[in-house]
Amino acid sequence: MVTLVEGMLRQAVVEKSHRLVVGIALESMRLDLLQMAIQGAQADGNDKTLSDLLDYVVKMCGKFVSIQKFRVSCLELVVEAYQKKSKEPYEYCCLSQCYFSLSKAQEVADLLVELLDS
């Protein structure tokens, strides 16, 4: 079974199927795989692809990850990835959802102020 999953994972990485890697990472509760998927999307150099992947991670965590500690760790990876890239206007919603889920009220307030200033 492990060999089959590892083979699927290798194939997904080669084909740049980042969402599949995210799905495997969330199902197997492996932060290293999730980080690998995010880093793969970052390496592609397409901000839209990365933003879509991060949004997907947030949605899947909200729907399917029931263990709070793991969900918090996943959302922290998403926030870290957003902080490494320039923010687009449509990303504020996803980022504010992450901050809200992580109980980071000051960061949500800072985002709102940033939006008001722009």
Are 108 and 88 a contacting pair, CB within 8 Å?
Answer: no
Q: Is the model's pLDDT at 89 over the cut of 80?
A: no
Q: Say how many C-beta atoms besides its own lie within 10 A of residue 63's C-beta.
A: 9
- Model confidence pLDDT, tens digit, residues 98-111: 999 999 999 999 98
Q: Which helix (H) or strand (E) holds 55?
A: helix 47-64
Is the model more confident about 6 or about 68?
68
Q: Which two tokens stand for residue 16?
A: 């740049």
* DSSP tag of 6: H
Per-residue pLDDT at 66: 93
Reported pTM: 0.87
**What are the tokens at 17?**
């199927």
Residue 49 has pLDDT above 90, yes or no: no
